[in-house]
């Protein structure tokens, strides 16, 4: 388990943000869909010799997905199983539950958290707690131009560049301040 553990630590350093590029039609809120979550972590995992598998298991009235990491050494690590009930007992209901289970299972296993999610039906929306104020001017001066250039190259480049930035308290506030404009630039580049 030593090799996969060390590789996962290195992989997490390369994870990018799970960009909210999809819209929930019921709440008209943006969320990071399964492809955005996979995109945020897959390069970091693969570059460190880790394959990702999400295995569906039989269950009643829903789906259960196990997120599994396989290291090139042969070591494996299961992040456990996540059960999601199907709201409808048809292919669409099971497909939706499968996608939901894969997305949330992967986010939990990798420690990736989008800014918010589309699970608002489960609970009332609460305002996020304000982070302590941090002077980010030096962080901005050092990294803003690089991140803007990455955004102009698209979502994937933005995720990679942001993931490579030093993890400090200023990083989170830097993202909170510039996320909307950077994501808009990245989405425009993706659509070109």
Query: What does the pLDDT look like over 117-145, one tens digit per residue?
Result: 444 444 444 444 554 566 777 777 888 88
* Average pLDDT estimate for 16-21: 81
Query: Cα separations (Å) of 88 from 8, 67, 84, 99, 174?
Result: 36, 24, 12, 14, 41
CA atoms of 104 and 34, how far apart (whole Å): 8
CA atoms of 96 and 106, how far apart (whole Å): 15
* Average pLDDT estimate for 76-88: 94
If one counts every other C-beta atom within 10 angstroms of the C-beta of residue 159, the result is 25
What pLDDT was estimated at residue 117?
43
What pLDDT was estimated at residue 133?
60
Per-domain boundaries in the chain: 2-119, 137-191
Provide the CATH number for the domain formed by 2-119 in this structure. Answer: 3.30.390
- Band (81; pLDDT cuts 50, 70, 90): very high
Residues 27-48: tens digit of each pLDDT: 667 878 899 899 999 999 999 9
Among 18-32, 42-56, 100-114, top mean pLDDT goes to 42-56
* Average pLDDT estimate for 164-178: 77
What pLDDT was estimated at residue 18?
81
Q: Which H or E run contains 103?
A: helix 91-110
What pLDDT was estimated at residue 79?
95
CA atoms of 77 and 8, how far apart (whole Å): 10
What pLDDT was estimated at residue 183?
80
What pLDDT was estimated at residue 135?
75
pLDDT at 85 over 90: yes
What pLDDT was estimated at residue 132?
55
Residue of 147 and 48 predicted with greater confidence: 48
What pLDDT was estimated at residue 115?
56
- Per the prediction, the chain carries an average pLDDT of 83
- The token pair at 173 is 């506030």
* Average pLDDT estimate for 86-94: 90
What pLDDT was estimated at residue 120?
44
Contact 186, 151 (CB under 8 A): yes
Comparing CA positions, the residue from 67, 68, 61 lying closest to residue 84 is 61
């Amino acid at each position: 388990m030593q090799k996969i553990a060390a590789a996962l630590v290195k992989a997490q350093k390369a994870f990018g943000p799970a960009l909210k590029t999809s819209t929930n039609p019921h709440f008209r809120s943006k969320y990071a869909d399964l492809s955005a979550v996979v995109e945020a972590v897959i390069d970091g995992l693969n570059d460190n010799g880790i394959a990702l598998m999400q295995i569906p298991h039989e269950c009643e009235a829903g789906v259960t997905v196990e997120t599994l990491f396989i290291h090139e050494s042969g070591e494996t690590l299961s992040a456990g199983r996540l059960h999601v009930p199907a709201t409808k007992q048809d292919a669409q209901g099971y497909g939706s539950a499968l996608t939901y289970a894969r997305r949330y299972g992967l986010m939990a296993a990798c420690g990736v958290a989008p800014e918010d999610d589309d699970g608002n039906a489960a609970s009332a929306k609460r305002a996020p707690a304000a982070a302590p104020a941090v002077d980010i001017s030096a962080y901005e001066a050092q990294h803003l131009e690089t991140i803007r250039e990455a955004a102009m190259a698209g979502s994937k480049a933005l995720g990679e560049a942001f993931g490579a930035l030093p993890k400090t308290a200023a990083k989170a506030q830097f993202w909170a301040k510039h996320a909307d404009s950077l994501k808009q630039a990245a989405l425009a580049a993706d659509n070109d």
